[in-house]
Amino acid sequence: MRVGRPLHLFRVHLFRAREPHPVAESTAVGSSGAVGPSAGGRGPRVGLRSAAVLSAFALLAVFGSAPEAGAGACDGGSADSEPEGRPYEPGSEQLDPSQQKYEARTTINANGQRERCECTAGRIWHWGMSPDAIASLKAAMDGKEALAFHNYGQFGVPPEQVPVQARTIWFRSTWRSRDEQVCLRAVFGSGAARPGTSKHEWGLAVDLEDWGPRSYGVDAGFLRANGWCSTVRSEPWHFEYRPQLQRLGQAGRCIK
């Protein structure tokens, strides 16, 4: 596996989100999209045994060389792009990989390509997300890291040498602003949620980057083990944080 390729820069989009201040407490979102305090615990952690059925060869295949897929489809239409060159927050390279894995940016335009709808801006994945959702996604990454240690270890690779890319769950899109959702609705019509109703705007939905066949369902499996649910049959990359949505009476039906 090649490492150390220079990170690509994000292009400027037509709609740049007005960033919210990071939330310090749990949030609840009403049917109008308004955010307010809500109680809630952290999502359940996932252990190594939840993914033990995956072979070491399968995980290495996910992060091995493969034809590079475009990161341009804002609807998630191209899956499993090359892990190399995906961006982390500037300065995060100074962190230990066990912490840097939490510093990934959303992958839209990660290869320097313009997304076809030009609606959404790249940002660190947890910006604007519900604190409970953030905790559950970090737990999912911890589970993926444990699996990587196990599988790379079978090839004699010590934990400290496991690349950070193999520990990270990558997201194409997480929180979105209302302006971004307005743009998506204009481009995709009924294929995008009405502004104010999208769970992305509420900080309770994510779009996976690695959801296709080459990923072997690794990332999706760790999300499901930590409270996330696929709810849109035509969008296998889209997941919503079910525990908080259930408390709000807004949880959709889970799709296997």
The confidence score (pLDDT) of residue 62 equals 37
The confidence score (pLDDT) of residue 194 equals 95
172 and 237 Cβ atoms separated by less than 8 Å: yes
d(CA 169, CA 94): 19
The confidence score (pLDDT) of residue 246 equals 93
The confidence score (pLDDT) of residue 117 equals 58
100 HSE (CA, 13 A, CB side):
19
CATH architecture of 27-64+77-247: 2-Layer Sandwich (3.30)
The confidence score (pLDDT) of residue 121 equals 82
The residue to which tokens 């310090």 are assigned: 24
- Global pTM value: 0.69
- 172: phi then psi, degrees, rounded to nearest 5: -75, -40
- Per-residue pLDDT tens digits of the chain, which is 256 residues long: 333 333 332 222 333 333 333 323 333 333 333 333 233 333 334 444 444 434 343 433 333 322 222 223 454 444 445 555 688 999 999 999 999 999 999 987 544 444 555 788 888 999 999 999 999 999 999 999 999 999 999 999 999 999 999 999 999 999 999 999 999 898 889 889 999 999 999 999 999 999 888 888 999 999 999 999 999 998 999 999 999 999 999 988 898 7
The confidence score (pLDDT) of residue 74 equals 53
